[in-house]
């Protein structure tokens, strides 16, 4: 199965089209965050979401933690999906599913240790996908994504095996390591921000290299599956 790609921290219509042209499946649109850095106004998120063509998912990243506030935020920005970047109360997750049943809901899980696995049953029945990131929600200034750091992919691999929901992998991905990420973790999708940027701007060269690396990894994984299905000796992923 082809690994989906979400290009996050999209800051303008120009960046959106650059990502779409490169083959992105989804655009991540970051609203106001406690740590700042990659956020844009809700009006800009709404503009980009309106311009996105069919079959491109627009994802609002919201730091809101209450269902009613999240719903209001979604309706103000007109995105087709929402990524909840905080570990919200599961009761709020359940309420959001009731009041916004047609919005695709993605719950971010910040993988600091194996405790991330314990969060699966709290959210799994009420969401459409998980996103595993490298934030520190308990820090003095909460980090809720966009850190540019990797986390323990071994825990991410176990998380994917333990849930029935699709899982996106985020945190410190680059053209240099994304092949290993696909081979090791085998996520449904990938989420990248800083790994395709230079001085804060979406870099066409880095973006192209990243997408090429993902394509190469998908081809290698497909070869591996064919070899295994045909009874050949399994071979490690090679890029």
Each of the 239 residues of the chain gets a pLDDT tens digit; together they read 789 999 999 999 999 999 999 999 999 999 998 776 789 999 999 999 999 999 999 999 999 999 999 999 999 999 999 999 999 999 999 999 999 999 999 999 999 889 999 999 999 999 999 999 876 766 666 565 666 677 889 999 999 999 999 999 999 999 999 999 998 899 999 999 999 999 999 999 999 999 999 999 988 877 766 665 444 444 444 44
- The answer to whether 111 and 132 are in contact (CB under 8 A) is yes
C-alpha separations of 185 from 37, 69, 101 in Å: 28, 33, 29
Q: Which of 120, 119, 62 is nearest to 96 (CA)?
A: 62
Is 43 a domain residue?
yes
Is 208 a domain residue?
yes
Is 236 a domain residue?
no
Is 8 a domain residue?
yes
Is 239 a domain residue?
no
Is 84 a domain residue?
yes
Domain that holds residue 129: 4-229
Is 133 a domain residue?
yes
Is 33 a domain residue?
yes
| CA 31 – CA 41 distance, rounded (Å) | 6
**pTM higher than 0.75 for the full model?**
yes
The secondary element (H helix, E strand) that includes residue 228 is helix 204-229
- For residue 155, the domain's CATH number is 3.20.20.70
- How many domains are contained in the chain? 1
Strand 167-169 and strand 129-133: the pairing is parallel
């Amino acid at each position: 199965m082809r690994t989906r790609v979400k290009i996050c921290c999209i800051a303008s219509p120009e960046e959106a089209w650059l990502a779409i042209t490169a083959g992105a499946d989804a655009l991540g649109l970051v609203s106001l965050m406690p740590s700042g850095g990659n956020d844009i106004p809700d009006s800009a998120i709404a503009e980009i979401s309106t311009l996105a063509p069919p079959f491109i998912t627009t994802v609002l990243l919201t730091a809101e933690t209450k269902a009613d506030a999240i719903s209001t935020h979604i309706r103000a920005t007109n995105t087709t999906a929402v990524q909840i970047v905080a570990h919200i109360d599961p009761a709020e997750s359940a309420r959001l599913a009731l009041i916004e049943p047609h919005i695709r809901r993605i719950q971010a899980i910040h993988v600091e240790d194996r405790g991330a696995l314990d969060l699966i049953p709290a959210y799994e029945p009420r969401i459409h996908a998980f996103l595993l990131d490298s934030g520190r929600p308990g820090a003095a200034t909460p980090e809720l994504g966009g850190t540019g750091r990797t986390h323990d992919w071994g825990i991410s691999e176990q998380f994917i095996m333990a849930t029935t929901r699709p899982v996106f992998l985020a945190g410190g991905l680059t053209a240099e390591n994304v092949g290993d990420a696909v081979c090791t973790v085998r996520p449904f999708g990938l989420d990248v921000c800083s790994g395709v940027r230079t001085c804060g701007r979406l870099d066409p060269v880095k973006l192209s290299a990243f997408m090429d690396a993902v394509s190469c990894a998908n081809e290698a994984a497909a070869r591996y599956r064919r070899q295994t299905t045909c009874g050949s000796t399994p071979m490690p992923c090679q890029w």
